[in-house]
Amino acid sequence: MIIVRLTYFSRNHIEPSGGPVHDRIHDILLESVTNNRRDDITGALIHDDKWFAQVLEGPETAVSATFERILRDPRHADVRLIKMQPVTMRRFGAWWMACVAHREDNADLFRHHCESECFDPQLMRADRLGDLIEAVVARTPGLQGKAGWTTSSVTNAA
């Protein structure tokens, strides 16, 4: 079975009128972890008020089907596929989906990888975006050494 890694970004199109954005993202993650467990997909999502950036890893057909669902999801706008490639091992194999918001405690990682104060994935090279996602997840308390997903400020789902 071929394992692929897909990296994309999109505009965060969650409407605040539907309830707190944090709760809406949590709902997305709960739904996603169920799908990812079923489909053997792992990965990570980072986000702020404007952007989502995500890596999905797993069997090519399952990752492609998941990406197709994301393209139709009204909570995402201007979805852009950055890279899809076969890989020998997963970068995010410990999580059905790790999810981390851009916050004060990881702002330095965003500044370093974005080379700017502003997180704007459309201005980043594909490898820098993947490295940013990995660095943010690696530094997040509560994710080191944990598999599955949690409901703290970091949630693992897709």
Q: Contact, 97 vs 42, CB < 8 A? A: yes
What pLDDT was estimated at residue 148?
A: 44
User: How many angstroms separate the CA atoms of 132 and 135, rounded?
Assistant: 5
User: How many angstroms separate the CA atoms of 156 and 85, rounded?
Assistant: 23
In tens digits, the chain (158 residues) has pLDDT values of: 889 999 999 999 987 776 677 888 888 889 989 999 999 999 999 999 899 999 999 999 999 999 999 999 999 999 999 999 999 999 999 899 999 999 999 999 999 999 888 899 999 998 999 999 999 999 987 665 444 443 333 333 33
Q: What is the pTM of this model?
A: 0.86
